[in-house]
Amino acid sequence: MRPFYPAVLLLALVSTVRAEVTLAPLFTDHAVLQCDKPVPVWGRAAAGEKVAVSFRGQALDTVADAEGRWSVMLAPLTATGEAADFVVQGTNLITLHDVVVGEVWLASGQSNMEWPLKSAANAAAEIAAANFPLIRHLRIERTSVVQPAADVKTGGWERATPETAGGFTAVGYFFARDLHRKLGVPVGIVHSAWGGTPIESWIALEALKATSVYPAVDARWQKAVAEFPERQKNWPAETAAWKAAEEKARATHTKNPLTWPVAPAGPGTAYARAGLYNGMIAPLQPMALRGVIWYQGESNWPRASEYAELFSTLIRSWRAAWGEGELPFLFVQLPNYEVPNDPTGRGWAHLREAQAKALALPGTGMAVMIDAGEAKNLHPTNKQEPGRRLALLAKSLVYGLTTDCMGPTFVSATREHAALRVRFQHAATGLVAHNRPVQSLEIAGADKVFHPATGVIERGTLLVSSPAVKEPVAVRYAWTNAPTANLFNGSGLPAAPFRSDDW
């Protein structure tokens, strides 16, 4: 009998496994590759292994480096819905089927971006009609880690059909559907979102440390880490108590006296600084994208004063990581929510203002949703409208199509006798108040006390006054958590909330 050497056999098996060439998990059957830009393709293999990549007439060769990493760069591809095989040859052969070329967008943020089509308004009809084989969706699994990960976990690319579309991001799906119908090319959505998460989790740690607000962010984090064991122990009981109180409140038509117990923050959780960037954004780089759509902010409204800097930092740092200084970044401004027209509730107004400041960066666009929220629902079921408005921004700002993509935006307020005349951008089609006086207007004098005001539309401007303010110096519109917002332009897009003061 020949001698048996287990150690030698094990070494041979390990060598065989390591020799298998692999692709990054972003590349699967049914993938959409970005058109009209160089397309990086990468993966792993044994150190020194030769790797050949071929797709649509391009053939590229490379060699895996000492750590087993390899990459090639496809030359820009023309958009096409004609499927082709994508072939990678090493010591083994990988063939991806049904790969198309079109527009690829990253959809990120928290729960309102994560919200699935099956839970959106008119879901049954929308899903039944979701027969768009050239709209495709790649879900990035929830992952929070301390260091930037090399790969993400996905279920692979899926085509939009009635069998699959229910699990797609609803906002992303409606955005993609509008683009696909207008552009006539495949549209891929890379869905990387996690509900209930703060913006700090989505920013690289080094970028976060460079902000002026980092000491406050770090102090909260250190406190959370110290409290984590006790919070983790108590959280199940706190959650059970809240659910019991909620059931009782619904049965008696009263308000739940308890607030929802936020899950404890600690290492490896969704609230960890940079955790989601490390696990769900960094591994996507350098995937070729057309741009980013973003819906987040609900978890940051109590700290709105920090948000403007954090948001601009996120945009700049993501662009730097992708090597594109003006990578299109389109975002949803938070809608109306909480007690309607409550003048004491303005936290969300401050967060919306912080979001709007990102428009100072080139290549950004904001979908105003102040008219389309639900006062008692943090997750408005109308996901069609944010998707549509994001698509309007993309069609105008990214694809150069002539379309009105934004509603009236405050420019200035000048004194005229006992009134203030407000001027706007994006009001060339006129101002419309839906057949009733403009709602949610306030003005104040030098005493900084705001009073309800009336507004008269005149030639694309708004003349605002109040009998209680003889010498007005400041004006606000829709400056509460859940205002009645009824000012639009002639294209039917809502005016963005604004204030002329900084009090």
Q: Domains along the chain?
A: 103-198+275-405 (3.40.50.1110), 211-270 (no CATH), 409-499 (no CATH)
Edge-to-edge strand ranges of the sheet holding 461-465: 409-416, 419-425, 461-465, 454-458
DSSP track, 219-261: HHHHHHHHHHHHHHHHHHHHHHHHHHHHHHHHHHT---SSPP-
Task: Look up residue 404 and give its two tokens.
Answer: 């009105």
Of 409, 424, 426, 498, give the one whose Cα is nearest residue 463: 424
Query: What is the pLDDT tens value at each position of the chain, 503 positions in all?
Result: 444 444 444 444 444 445 699 999 999 999 999 999 999 999 999 999 999 999 999 999 999 999 999 999 999 999 999 999 999 999 999 999 999 999 999 999 999 999 999 999 999 999 999 999 999 999 999 999 999 999 999 999 999 999 999 999 999 999 999 999 999 999 999 999 999 999 999 999 999 999 999 999 999 999 999 998 998 999 999 999 989 998 998 899 887 898 878 888 888 899 999 999 999 999 999 999 999 999 999 999 999 999 999 999 999 999 999 999 999 999 999 999 988 888 888 999 999 999 999 999 999 999 999 999 998 899 999 999 999 999 999 999 999 997 889 999 999 999 999 999 999 999 999 999 987 899 999 999 999 999 999 999 998 999 999 999 999 999 999 999 999 999 999 999 999 999 999 99
E-assigned strand segments in 38-79: 39-44, 50-55, 58-63, 69-74
Name the amino acid, one letter, at 116: P
Task: Look up residue 217 and give its two tokens.
Answer: 């962010």
Q: Are 102 and 187 in contact (CB under 8 A)?
A: yes
How far, in Å, CA of 254 to CA of 257, rounded? 9
How far, in Å, CA of 172 to CA of 158, rounded? 14
Task: Look up residue 374 and give its two tokens.
Answer: 């639900």
How far, in Å, CA of 79 to CA of 277, rounded? 30
Of 403, 181, 213, give the one whose Cα is nearest residue 311: 213
pTM assigned to the model: 0.93
C-beta pairs of 312-316 under 8 Å, 24+ apart in sequence? 312/357, 312/358, 312/360, 312/361, 313/203, 313/207, 313/208, 313/210, 313/211, 314/199, 314/202, 314/203, 314/207, 315/358, 315/361, 315/364, 316/207, 316/361
The pairing of strands 498-499 and 454-458 is unpaired
How far, in Å, CA of 118 to CA of 352, rounded? 28
Determine the pLDDT at residue 2.
Answer: 43
Determine the pLDDT at residue 19.
Answer: 65
Tell me if the bond preceding 286 is cis, omega within 30° of 0: yes
How far, in Å, CA of 201 to CA of 287, rounded? 21
Q: Are 393 and 405 in contact (CB under 8 A)?
A: yes
Cα distances (angstroms) measured from residue 81 to each of 26, 53, 78: 19, 20, 10
The pairing of strands 461-465 and 409-416 is unpaired
Give just the sign of the alpha carbon dihedral 191, 194, 195, 197: negative
Distance of CA 137 to the CA centre of its chain: 15
**Structure confidence by residue, pLDDT tens digits, 142-157:** 999 999 999 999 999 9
The secondary structure of residue 469, as a DSSP letter, is: B
Residues 6+ away with beta carbon under 8 Å from 239: 261
